[in-house]
Amino acid sequence: MTSSLPQESRYRDVQRRTMIVLIIAQIIGTIGVGVAPSIGVLVAEEVTNSEAWSGLARTASTLGTALFGLVLGTIAAKHGRRMALSGGWWLAAAGSALLVAAAQWNQIVPLFVGLLFIGAGSAVSLQSRFAATDLAEPQQKARSLALVVWVGTLGSVLGPNLGVPGEAVKSATGLSVFASAFLIAAVCLAIAGVAVFIWLRPDPLLLLMADTPVEIAPPKGRGSSRIRRTIAELQVNRPARIAFIAIVSAQIVMVAVMTMTPVHVAHHGGSVTFIGLTISLHVAGMYALAPVVGWTADRFGHRFTIGVGVAVFAVSLVIGALRPDDMDWVVVSLILLGVGWSFVNVAGSALFTAVVSSTTRAASQGGVDSLSNLCGATAAFIAGPLLAASSYAFLSVVAMIALIPLLLLTLRGGFMGAREELATE
């Protein structure tokens, strides 16, 4: 009798359990991941004593997200979400533990290796949003994805402010404030991995693969073969290309500007507390409206939602270009930068999940995250020397230029509803 029900109905209870586990792990894990954009950059500048090298250190974190995104996507395709997500959280915990040593004793090698490994946490956080869609009903996919993005708000807002509880840990352990913050982060990341490993049962992706083995069995061959199949699909699948360009563009613009904002604010006299608050508000902008974004994408279409995000991005960057020395306006700009990223990334991710071939879905999702973060790492690497050689205003202008291809693509595509949008492709 059960087998005669639609798949979505049979999966409802498992989907509910999956969402609960993902939400718990996302909140706890993102507390640990959240130290990289603010405290990580400040430690990098302190250890390296260089503005340009601080941007390179941030690049290590983003590069880690890119590298581990591909690895975790491949693991998910072979062994399911549970092994991929729990392993990623534990790798990030190991990275945060290395950053304790880097911050305490000003060690460059543990700094870069630690930031590289903590990038695995960001990769897990991103892939968790795709895990939320595995068993979701078609009309609920964007909202399920957005909910997992949204709950990361709490952890991601608290993460940049771990210097505050770090003061208490400092008193108890004798570690520096920064080292104490990374110690707290390591514990949170390890707990997130344990939660996923114990409770993400049955594995949503393995359940789906077992139920429809012909449709979504993972592609055979090594990782390079999967990458080639993903690239081949992007060449012939126009909606998937649109989604890919949206995700990559949002990551480039957001990472380039956000990475160097703590350094820019510090040079204008901003305290560690103010910098932490600024990044927290930016992260809140990235995640707080995610449920609204998911509903908008399901209701009005992916391209319309992407178009809204491009407009918000533009407003943010104009403010950054015109009022770079007014810290109140810089905070406003960074909040809007996060909101723009949310609209473009959530809609682009939902569109990609909806249109990508089932035979390459898990590996392709990891591949898209990897490529977007690799581009983000490149943007972060360029942003440091660019800020050192020019100004924050000029960096904002360069980010505006990077948005032009997505703007043109969105305008050419029109603003149609989600169903009509996919049907016309």
Per-residue model confidence (pLDDT) at position 16: 94
Better pLDDT: 146 or 266: 146
At 253, the pLDDT band (50, 70, 90 cuts) reads very high
Per-residue model confidence (pLDDT) at position 419: 43
User: Where does residue 343 rank: exposed (0-12), middle (13-18), buried (19+ CB within 10 A)?
Assistant: buried
Rounded Cα–Cα distance for residues 183 and 186 (Å): 5
Per-residue model confidence (pLDDT) at position 37: 65
Mean pLDDT of the chain: 83
Its pTM stands at 0.78
Average pLDDT over residues 292-307: 89
Per-residue model confidence (pLDDT) at position 4: 46
Rounded Cα–Cα distance for residues 140 and 330 (Å): 36
Average pLDDT over residues 344-373: 82
Domain that holds residue 102: 2-423
- What are 373-402's pLDDT values in tens digits? 788 778 877 887 888 888 888 999 999 999
Average pLDDT over residues 143-152: 89
Contact 146, 288 (CB under 8 A): no
Instruction: Indicate which CATH number applies to the domain containing 362.
Output: 1.20.1250.20
Cβ contacts of residue 211 below 8 Å, gap of 6+?
7
Say if residue 418's pLDDT is above 50: no
Say if residue 113's pLDDT is above 90: yes
At 217, the pLDDT band (50, 70, 90 cuts) reads very low
At 329, the pLDDT band (50, 70, 90 cuts) reads very high
Say if residue 358's pLDDT is above 70: no
Say if residue 250's pLDDT is above 60: yes
* Distances 4 to 9, 194, 358, 405 between C-alpha atoms, Å: 10, 35, 22, 46
At 406, the pLDDT band (50, 70, 90 cuts) reads very high
Looking at beta carbons, which pairs linking 226-234 to residues 24 or more positions away fall under 8 Å? 226/74, 226/77, 226/360, 226/363, 226/364, 226/367, 227/70, 227/367, 229/359, 229/360, 229/363, 230/360, 230/363, 230/364, 230/367, 230/368, 233/356, 233/357, 233/360, 233/364
* Distances 46 to 54, 76, 179 between C-alpha atoms, Å: 8, 37, 13
Of the candidates 272, 277, 287, 278, the residue with the CA atom closest to the CA atom of residue 258: 278
At 230, the pLDDT band (50, 70, 90 cuts) reads low
* Distances 405 to 402, 411, 413 between C-alpha atoms, Å: 7, 10, 12
How many distinct structural domains can be found in the chain?
1
Per-residue model confidence (pLDDT) at position 248: 93
Measured distance between the N- and C-terminal CA atoms of the chain, rounded to whole angstroms: 37
- What are 15-41's pLDDT values in tens digits? 999 999 999 999 999 888 887 766 777
CA dihedral of 327, 328, 333, 339, whole degrees rounded to 10: 130
Say if residue 348's pLDDT is above 80: yes
Rounded Cα–Cα distance for residues 4 and 10 (Å): 9
Q: In the chain, pLDDT over 70 holds for what percent of residues?
A: 84
Say if residue 414's pLDDT is above 70: no
